[in-house]
A and B are shown apart, each in its own frame.
Chain A
């Protein structure tokens, strides 16, 4: 077969060409980003990637309308795939390598790959309290955002009327300020001389709140409650918006129908509104729980040394102890636990047949 016929055969299977080139480009990007190749090798890989793109353009050019239509989806996927390969997959690979590396002698500046599984043991044993605390705080914060967010979304969806969009806008307004600044502001609000503590003092609630472990020695700031409160506040919109979306789709006549079929208003709410809002609660829970579990800002500014979350520990290992291998191992453990938790949650709460 001469080269021209061979190219023509390839061009007659444009889907395979598109997919193949896309995967090759992704692999090349990871190879460059994770430094599998360097120096002249990297130049060769880059040149091959460029050649693949040019080849693909040529195939599209000679292939006619059908071919171009078949190639279009892969063409549209390519920028995203390249971006994520270079800036997500490649660093992830580097972290896998790092999490199994160690310094071979104390004169080594960089750790080197050595199948060092001990890093994972360290991550799981030394930082067990931080892991447990993170998932505990994130779970409580998720529950609180449901309890606060559901009624809010319900009122906007069913009673918002013409103010619906304004109310939704107000839910999102806090995002106009930086996350960090809002958390720092919470520090001021909860401070010992701040308005919240003084109101509790004046109402004589301090004792009650202390017995509930919400306040500690007359302080609200630097307590677990403050950290959970901060998480709840910061992630609340991520719960409100998905719940709103699923509530808004509910035909109010379904509630009428339930009441017509001998259900009281509260029974109709329980049997109709809540089940139909489950997809929103589910999506919101993921959007809140995952970032909350990995958060370090709230614990840093609203907590105390006894409320450190795993995010803080990872940050500390990476930036202060410069213990990259253990920090990487901790990150992977976090990712793994969250993935498993989400899969389990999806298994029990999954509502794909409603979508």
Chain B
């Protein structure tokens, strides 16, 4: 796991070989990473991957079966939630329906027996931060979804926690509001300078907001890194398929060394790649099974064979999406790939069943170890998409 190191300023949270088991089911297996001060950290993965369980162990609602959870360097594995200086924004907000917005926000400080004048000031400040000052005396039921969400945020942040834990906080909002709230969350995080740990199954959310992302699958942390890191250099086939859309093409090693390597595609065609675009796990011995990842937006579609490496394909579908055009094409061996080109590109030769050539820039492909379970575009196989959700 060659994840980028957390930023300077020290660790706020450290998971030390944490494992959580329910009976024989392993929910989280050997989670071992740190989250730095002021970081916006996302845990991303399909449902059941263990991300929420990990968050609950940090919050204190679950205890690890083995391993330790450290908060500000102190082992809190057995400390109950109300004695941990972290606060959670719950999925459906869990606002107290019998209290006003102001009382909801004041709940934490009151439990801590902070002086009334100080509470009043803090609540006022927090209402300003989330821009809800004029709603202080409303009940949660009188607020819209986005407003409730911000109350939940204020209720947690008013305690100045070491870290704020957010459990799918935007899942209940509709698309436009969700996009606006992503920016709002980022603004608030910069303003309060508190560590945010964010659980989501929505990769767009994770990519937009996070400094670092931990991609999880079946209880295992597959990769930790920045958004670009994870997108451009996935460490596993799961990450490659889960983040963005990708064409995963099975291939075998022809030959390779420190300068670069050549691979034969399964079904014909050759590709050469610079060595820094080959994952460290790939053994460069001839005949080794590898996967070449080509992102749809990196594929060029031409009507005539271009100079350099390319693959012949037949167009099966053309979808106009406004800003872009998505082209689905079938390779000679039947594998479906997708290419995304600019919406205003002039492509008169493009028609269903027309023959085209797919080519790429030399720094576009990335090579991973092993063959994918489903060859070709990750976006065209309904079953594998459903399985990943």
| Chain A contact residues, CB within 8 Å of chain B | 251, 253-254, 256-264, 267, 271-272, 275-276, 353-354
Contacts and interface: CB of A to CB of B under 8 A. Distances in A.
Nearest to A255: B94
A251 B152 CA distance: 15
Given A275-B98, A276-B98, A354-B98, A264 B82 contact: yes
Given A256-B94, A261-B156, 5 more contacts: A256-B81, A259-B81, A261-B87, A261-B155, A354-B97
B92 interface: yes
Nearest to B80: A259
B111 interface: yes
B94 A261 contact: no
B98 A251 contact: no
A262 to B, nearest CB: 4
A249 to B, nearest CB: 9
A184 to B, nearest CB: 43
Interface string B70-105: 000000000011110001101110111110000000
Contact of A261 (B60, B61, B92, B108): B108
Contacts of B107: 258, 261, 263, 271
A271 to B, nearest CB: 8
Q: How large is the interface on B (under 10, 10 to 19, 20 to 34, 35 or more residues)?
A: 20 to 34
Nearest to A354: B98
Given A251-B94, A354-B97, A262 B88 contact: no
A259 B139 CA distance: 21
A257 B96 contact: yes
A158 to B, nearest CB: 15
Contacts of B108: 261-262
Contact of A262 (B94, B95, B159): B159
B168 to A, nearest CB: 13
Nearest to B139: A353
20 contacts: A253-B90, A254-B94, A254-B96, A254-B97, A256-B94, A257-B88, A257-B90, A257-B95, A258-B107, A258-B111, A259-B61, A259-B80, A260-B87, A262-B111, A262-B112, A262-B159, A263-B82, A264-B82, A275-B98, A354-B98
Contact of B159 (A251, A261, A264, A267): A261
A271 B59 CA distance: 21
Contacts of B97: 254, 276, 354
Given A267-B111, A275-B98, A354-B97, A262 B92 contact: no
Contacts of A271: 107
A342 to B, nearest CB: 23
A275 B103 CA distance: 14
- The SS class assigned to the A binding surface is helix
B335 to A, nearest CB: 46
A271 B107 CA distance: 10
A271 B61 CA distance: 19
B82 A260 contact: yes
Contacts of A272: 96
Nearest to A275: B98
A260 B59 contact: yes
B97 to A, nearest CB: 7
Contacts of A276: 97-98
A262 B81 CA distance: 7
Contacts of A257: 88, 90, 94-96
A253 B94 contact: yes
Interface of B: 59-61, 80-83, 87-88, 90-92, 94-98, 107-108, 111-112, 139, 155-156, 159
Contacts of A264: 80, 82
A262 B82 contact: yes
A143 to B, nearest CB: 23
A254 B96 CA distance: 7
A227 to B, nearest CB: 37
B155 A251 contact: no
A70 B258 CA distance: 86
Q: Shortest 3 CB-CB distances between A and B: which pairs?
A: A261-B108, A262-B111, A257-B94
Contacts of B60: 260
A354 B159 CA distance: 27
A160 B83 CA distance: 29
B385 to A, nearest CB: 30
Contacts of A261: 82, 87, 107-108, 111, 155-156, 159
B98 A260 contact: no
Nearest to A254: B94
B196 to A, nearest CB: 15
A149 B274 CA distance: 74
Contacts of A262: 82-83, 108, 111-112, 159
B92 A253 contact: yes
A271 B96 CA distance: 10
A237 to B, nearest CB: 26
Nearest to B84: A260
Nearest to A278: B98
Nearest to B106: A261
A352 to B, nearest CB: 12
A109 B98 CA distance: 60
A271 B99 CA distance: 10
Contacts of A260: 59-61, 81-82, 87-88, 156
Contacts of B90: 253, 256-257
A186 B82 CA distance: 47
Nearest to B91: A253
A260 B51 CA distance: 18
B92 A256 contact: no
Nearest to A268: B82
A166 to B, nearest CB: 25
B348 to A, nearest CB: 57
A115 to B, nearest CB: 50
A292 to B, nearest CB: 28
A38 B342 CA distance: 93
Contacts of B88: 256-257, 260
A354 B142 CA distance: 12
A256 B93 CA distance: 11
B126 to A, nearest CB: 13
A193 to B, nearest CB: 51
A256 B61 contact: yes
A281 to B, nearest CB: 13
B92 A251 contact: yes
Contacts of A354: 97-98
B98 A263 contact: no
B111 A263 contact: yes
Contacts of B95: 257
A261 B90 CA distance: 12
A155 B253 CA distance: 63
